[in-house]
Structure 1
Amino acid sequence: STAFLIANKKSLQSERREKIFDIKAMLKGVVDGSKRIHIFVNVKRENLELLLKELPALKKPTVSPLADEGWYAVNTVIDKDSLFKVLPTIRRLAQGLVIHEPRQVLALEEG
């Protein structure tokens, strides 16, 4: 199915403008979310930079230290189609791959 958001030009000049753009962002987020996955992996410090060079992201992956010193959690949102491209790198450099399918992905940037 296909969704269309229709508004008259006068609405874009009124106080409704922000609401219209909010609805547009939510609809686009559902479509974008259906094309992406959110992945989580654990990686040793010595493999971190190598992994980050190969891992796609919306902007940059999120990196957080784990309780076990020398280990990091890395999470990022990628296109579903790119998983098989990066899977060999993940298998070689990281462990504990967890994959979530987001309901929505909202870039929240103008444009």
Structure 2
Amino acid sequence: MAKAMREPTFWILTALVDQARHGYGIIQQAASLSDGQVTLQAGTLYAALDRLHAEGLVAIDHDETVDGRPRRYYRLTRGGVAALQEETTRLERNASTASRQLAARRHLGEATA
């Protein structure tokens, strides 16, 4: 059984699915994809990116300087795609189980609450 992925990790990897992004781009994409439910803080993001890089789930794509400020872009690796797919499957399985349980409860009626 796979260990649950922490929510910030899930959203960081999800934000990198379609393209390489720099830190602020990851923060913006995670907020957008989660409909504003997730707000990654810079400290959390960069600590997570360092860990994910060490684990081989993200790679440094390239560095650039914009207006005198350095930007490092990260991309999802094959391992990152596999980890995100595994977590997505785990979440879907859990949601399906909970949905079945709730449907069964509705069939029993609310009096059993």
Name whichever structure is richer in strand by fraction: 1
Name whichever structure is richer in helix by fraction: 2
Give the TM-score normalised by the residue count of structure 1.
0.27
Give the TM-score normalised by the residue count of structure 2.
0.27
